[in-house]
Amino acid sequence: MTVGSQVKTCYATLKSIEAGLDLLHASTTEQDLKTTIDETSQLIKIARQDIHQQIIHIDKQEPQYKS
């Protein structure tokens, strides 16, 4: 597995985590848990955006790894 593939797998995993957190947020009524989920979701979103920028960089710099 190339580095580009690993980074893209990480990106997909982060998107999946975001979706799971969204479902958890929608299904709970506990306010403290909703707050924790919101904070965690924000951190995951930032990480996902950073990884997305790395994917763009890898695709531009290393076209042989483009999938």
pLDDT tens, position by position, 1-35: 788 889 999 999 999 999 999 999 999 999 999 99
Q: What is the b/e burial string over 25-62, where b = at least 16 CB atoms within 10 angstroms of the residue's CB?
A: beeeeeeeeeeebeeebeebeeebeebeebbeebeeee
Q: What is the pLDDT of residue 15?
A: 97
| pTM (predicted TM-score) | 0.83
Number of folded domains in the chain? 1
pLDDT, position 2 = 82
CA angle 39, 41, 44 (to 5 degrees): 115
The domain of 55 spans 3-65
Listed residue (18, 12, 10) closest to 41, CA to CA: 18
Residue 62's contacts (CB-CB under 8 Å, 6 or more residues apart) are: 4
